Structure 1
Amino acid sequence: MRKRWRWLGVPGFLVATMAGATCPQWTAAQARQELGALHDRLDGWNHAYRVTGQSPVDDAVYDQALQRFDRWRACFPQQAPAPLAHLADASGAVTAPVAQTGLAKLPDAAAVATWMRSHGSNLWVQPKADGVAVTLLYRDGELHQATSRGDGLHGSNWTAKALRIAAIPRHLPNAPSRVVLQGELYWRLPSHVQARDGGVNARSAVAGAMARDTLDAATAAHIGLFVWDWPSGPADMPSRLAGLRAMGLIDSADYTQPVGTLADVQRWRRRWYRQPMPFAADGTVLRQSRRPGASTWRAEPPEWAVAWKYPAAQALAEVRAVTFTVGRSGRITPVLELEPVQLDDHRVQRVSVGSLRRWQQLDIRPGDQVEVALAGLTIPRLQSVAWRAQQRPPVIPPDPAQHDTLSCWRWVPGCELQFLARLVWLGGKSGLQLDGLGPDTWQALIDAGLVHGLLDWMDLTAAQLAAVPGVGDARAEALLHAFAAARARPFKRWLRALGMPASGTIALTDWHTLAARNDDQWQASGGIGPGRAQHLLAFFRHADVRALAAHLHALGVIGF
């Protein structure tokens, strides 16, 4: 279906909308800058593929970047640079014997079920091998021509390279006089598990090899062939598969299985995703048994075959904002707020940069495009900066000189984040275990003007708590009970809640004894070196910490 665009006039800006998508709100000059930057980045990646066969980015990220480039070009045709050639080639001098159609992508199981209902019961499923497409022409059983996908109608002549790839048969036994096969050249990956290993840039390895001028024997040995269709073959799938087996293409035929229900498709999909395969696969393909004659095929997705891709293990995401957290120890952590992306079963909207130094080195700003992945299949992880926005809005982080392990014991300007982190730690599982006290409740007490210091909550009344928005009488009583119980917590737990550095095996008797220890006495204790001893001395001698200890002593907390 042809996409329809609608242009909206906004003074000073070019704004376009497409069904299901909105174009960036850029000026003409900014559109030219951003498109040029993405064009250059894609061109650089393509160059790396062709020259070294290595991918600077994950294949899925490359695909998403290319799709974004095409979308932006459609949004801003007047500002767009020339289109990019595909990785291996965009066209070529050789006319393909049958058009390479490509496949429409279905987003989810519901869409697959709908497609199956409208296409009858004689359906088949295959793994979607993640490689580069090739068309093979045999005459009288002998390989006559190998053509790249190109633009679907014309491609590059890969015949000389195909003759060096052992996986591509030079001769087909039991073959009709003219055979046209379409399939995928893939990178051999013995015992590859897609769910565990991901795409491992297997496609770029093949594409880079086929794009270079020569194909050496060692590289050719790594390339396999999966035939996914026989356009010139019999009209129905069982007959085509029988013919492929007779011609020696047994593995290709074995990976095409009949399905009658969505559950059948899902079973094969899970199997090929979670069990060892000889190649990377980025999804599954559904095909009708019968389809139109090959002479009618066009270089566009057909109605009789579709793809259902696996969830991406890595994705391209636009940075909406850069925020910062400050932990109780003063550690500053930059966090990227992202345009939501789907990674496996996870919707990812934010990712940690890890450290302030790393963020400064990467210099990530709103508008930048970053590559994210799942660490251990659960935690979003920042992989790299794919490319940078040309307009660089300022981002001002917290001043690291104002934050350390002994800063921010009160709610004062510049200390808001670290002070809140201290309260959360103090009341959490590692601290006093105060039931019902999380970040939101602490913030509500701060906003109500009731908590300015780390222990102000210990002096609050039920009436004060009940007046806090969202608390009320019943919860106020529960909080008051938790506060009262905190006074009876053991001395050791109070020290941990206040953030005392680890003290090895020393007996934690009382505040006075610990505060009186000198450097040598700390180091004489098991497990404490010079650095830790200095941290302990600094903690017990810090004026704010001493004031907290005096407050706890006045309240009768044991040990102080």
Structure 2
Amino acid sequence: MESVKQQIERLRAEIDRHNHQYYVLNSPEISDYDFDMMLKQLESLEKEYPEYDDPLSPTHRVGSDINKAFEQWEHRRPMLSLGNTYSITEVDEWVARVREGLMDEPFRIVGEMKFDGTSISLTYEHGRLVRAVTRGDGTRGDIVTDNVMTIRSVPLTLQGSGWPDEFEIRGEILLPWKAFDRLNAEREFNEEPLFANPRNAAAGTLKMQNSAEVARRGLDAVFYYLLGDNLPYDNHFDNMEAARSWGFRVSPEMKLMTTIEEIDAYIAHWDVARKELPWATDGLVFKVNSLRQQLNLGYTAKSPRWAVAYKFAAERALTPLRYVSFEVGRMGVVTPVANLDPVLLSGTVVKRASLHNADIIRRLDIHEGDHLYVEKGGEIIPKITGVDVSARVPGSMPVEFVTECPVCGTPLVRVEGEASHMCPNKLGCAPQICGRIEHFVGRRMMNIDGIGEEMSVTLYENGWVKDPADLYSLGRYRNEMLELPGMGPRTIDRMLEGIEASKQVSFDRVIFALSIMFVGETVAKKLARSLRSMDALMSADFDTLVAIDDIGPRIAQSVVDYFSHPLNRDIVERLRAAGVCMSMPDEPEGVASGVFDGKTVVISGTFSHHSRDEYKEIIERNGGKNSGSVSKKTDFILAGENMGPAKLEKARTLGITILSEDEFLNMLSAQQ
């Protein structure tokens, strides 16, 4: 009969295999439902038998929302950049230099895609992931293991056989186009700055302090370089094929070539075909295949002589400007938008491109009717890069930024220290009001189904909803709403049911939903956890707010300003009267002291009385900070059963205090 431990190990192996089939091979063997049921079964067993917990279990891929600082790690082998070429001729010249350097010895070249993401180095020992480090300055990078563990295409434990006991594999962390479009749609909805390209989005996501948010964003990874002392083969191509068999996503576009003609054809093909890939690419990479020949060719001060990057030219088009519109967002920021004659770029038709602010209009010196250069290249968001002055109509007038709100006519104000202009009429400007209603009902805020941008405008224009609190009395207009085109009884009922259900939404999401300037999702969580109630938040002064971790003067002043306005306070009180959540739940037992004020704690192993996440929460609520790695800054380690040997050894070397679970709980009890 299968033991519990064997059952857990079997489920982990099956889930890892199905993850690989789905995320790496794109050929799932079971339904999403069956996969979820298998995962739930494993979660249940791990919860019931915590002594068998494993930090690399697939159940831990969701990440944690505990804030942590990144520790740096020195690369055993420097992560050098590649020399760039911008034409087929330059690639051919590089091939000639390689031939000369190898004294006409026969050699083969591996061609690969140059994925446009952020570089990563993973170290595996005995078939298990032990460390993930960013490129950093090439010599040292940040340890981001917790975040990388959330990426489903990264194997936590290897499959197959034949891997070295210790090796390093390098690759690119990517944000696929679909995930990128979804993320930017969310940011646009929340009036947050859009990411210019997936590379920036991937780099920013990988360095987030909240691994649960990293998991939600949907990063991916492709690997392209294996390093180690005992690699299975003496050439790059076969080593990467071996890595593919161990569970790594290795680009199927990798090709082994011998002649310049093959290389030139590879470039010509992918200059067009790359647009069909699910990830952004900005070029190709060519490498000498033989590891011995790589060693003989060596390095310059900055890059290897045995590899070179070919960069694709950015796509650019020239198209007439029809007019510049000025659009008002939820927070009152007025954004100029260039409305263009439609032009095809990177497979999509571009009709509009943001001009961002008055300074950019002035710097580009845009005149009415100008022909503008629009570029995409690695930028998925169309970007105006210049003006064809030679095509300018004599006497055409420069485009001027508006001085009054294009909707309500209120004089605009320039935000101090920033380039943006704002309409200060927050409570009387229609697009701002409708935008705040739309934001309030959003999925990550109050999660009210059936009310989007169009419905928010409809509810406002009919006089039924003039601020978010009015949503909770929307039922009185049910008969009038039935007269709207396409609005049936069930549609309205679902909307009203969603409004009622939103009363159960947590306090931090309520804060986020209020549309307080500079208070995004992460800041809202910090305010909720620190102040714990709406009354405390409304009465908090500037000094109280800036004393909270990561709450700077700009955010603090914005919160004070928001609650200083009587109409905003009235909205909050009407939300309270409607039954919306106005506080955090009561503190868990035994977490009310400041015993860990200013202390950095590392948690390792498995526990009997609380889960790892519960202990992290206890430490944080008692003033401490959690860290995922042991360093000189660590004050003590909370050690459970099966503490990691590497952490234990490092702690002993540094003389760091190690507390057992009982010693930790006794320390808390002594402060009660």
State whether TM-score is above 0.5.
no
Smaller-chain TM-score bracket: 0.3 to 0.5
Q: Under a length normalisation based on structure 1, what TM-score does the superposition of the two structures give?
A: 0.43
Q: Which has the higher helix share?
A: 2
Structure with bigger gyration radius: 1
Q: Under a length normalisation based on structure 2, what TM-score does the superposition of the two structures give?
A: 0.36
